[in-house]
Amino acid sequence: MNDKINSLLSRVEAFASKIPSEVEAFRVEMLGKKGLITLLMEEFKTVPSEQKREFGQRLNALKSRALERVAELKELSDGVAGEATPLSRDATRPGTTQPLGSRHPISIVMNRIIATFARLGYVIAEGPEIEDDYHVFGALNFPPEHPARDMQDTFFIQRDPDILLRTHTSSNQVRAMETQQPPIRVVCPGRVFRNEAISYRAHCIFHQVEGLYVDEGVSFADMKQSILYFAKEFFGEGATIRMRPSYFPFTEPSAEVDVSCNLCGGKGCNVCKGTGWLEIMGCGMVDPNVLRNCGIDPERYSGFAFGMGVERIAMLLYGVKDLRLYFENDVRFLSQFQSAL
């Protein structure tokens, strides 16, 4: 087989025609379905196991060189006298319409959320995806041994308990409060990571948009009105919300927010499990300890925070029932969102 490989390699190097038809004939002879290199690849199956590595590497090198040589000669053959100019180079030929792509549904929804809160005066605050423990947990009222840390199964980096992939974009809120003085009004979009089993309703990667408003005299009523405005913008003027008491270490009081089901009008359906309500976010008044940790006087200032999963909102808007579709890059799925460019 060594002799055959050397012989074919010599032929590849020696071939020098610039006539397109001859270059194509050479390509077929060497690399076609019944080409010499293709047949040699078939013969390789009979090589003893101990020699496969050596001959496999040489065969791959031969094939790569043949492909390179054909490409070189095709480039040199463009415009050779006596050969017909390819139709693709005919300047009078009508152009081919290129299909337009589409934005990913997660990008569409995230941009809509940001634009909605921008009309209320919020600006974007971003931060790193690889964070330290203080900004993800410590500053947000999670003591080192606090059981609330178990609410979020964390990915740590190189077994370092202080460096991790952020589990929420609340770390961006901390950085905003550390570097700005009230009034602070920010939304924090981004990708977050949690060590969860992947299924139709959960994933180890997802996206959030969190919001923060800190100023003098900020009240729970301000928060409720802001969230109601968001719900009506996203789910229609007839949307209503309800708040259920909940727990988050960094807000007190805290609540889960439900919006009336826009599919059944609150009457009950499979999507809302017959309740007439859909959970969309968590929220609450910023805990004074969090303000204090970030250098803001809680005696003078108050604030509220909220956070929502972008995948969840997109599922409600578009009727997507499997979270995994967002991450598979299936063109058939993504092409459905062309109208939302």
Q: Of 132-136, 164-168, 221-225, 261-265, where does the model show the most confidence? A: 221-225
- pLDDT class for 151, splitting at 50, 70, 90? low
pLDDT greater at residue 89 or residue 92? 92
Q: Which two tokens stand for residue 128?
A: 């790193």
pLDDT mean over 59-78: 83
- pLDDT class for 270, splitting at 50, 70, 90? low
**Amino acid 284: pLDDT:** 96
**Ranges of each domain in the chain:** 2-83, 105-340
Beta strands in 149-298 (DSSP E): 156-157, 160-165, 184-193, 205-215, 241-248, 251-260, 277-286
Q: Determine the Cα–Cα distance for residues 264 and 270; give it in Å rounded to an integer.
A: 9
Which range has the worst mean pLDDT, 20-29, 109-118, 145-154? 145-154
pLDDT greater at residue 299 or residue 155? 299
Q: Are 277 and 260 in contact (CB under 8 A)?
A: yes
CATH assignment of 105-340, among 3.30.300.30, 3.30.565.10, 3.30.930.10, 3.30.200.20: 3.30.930.10
pTM: 0.67
**Amino acid 152: pLDDT:** 62
- Dump pLDDT digits (tens) for 113-144: 999 999 999 999 999 999 998 999 989 988 77
pLDDT mean over 200-226: 93
- pLDDT class for 161, splitting at 50, 70, 90? confident
**Amino acid 87: pLDDT:** 46
Q: Would you say residue 89 has pLDDT above 70?
A: no
Helix (H) or strand (E) holding 136: helix 133-136
212 phi and psi angles, rounded to 5 deg = -145, 135
Who contacts 61 (Cβ-Cβ below 8 Å, separation ≥6)?
none
Cα 305 versus chain centre, distance: 24
Q: Would you say residue 104 has pLDDT above 70?
A: yes
- Dump pLDDT digits (tens) for 225-236: 999 999 999 888
Q: Which two tokens stand for residue 3?
A: 């002799």
- Dump pLDDT digits (tens) for 236-256: 888 899 999 999 989 999 999
**Amino acid 82: pLDDT:** 47
**Amino acid 341: pLDDT:** 43
**Amino acid 147: pLDDT:** 67
Percent of the chain with pLDDT over 90: 40
User: Which residues in 42-67 are b (16+ Cβ under 10 Å) and which e?
Assistant: eebeeeeeeeeeebeebbeebbeebe
pLDDT greater at residue 295 or residue 33? 295
- Dump pLDDT digits (tens) for 282-339: 999 999 999 999 999 999 999 999 999 999 888 888 888 888 899 888 888 888 886 5
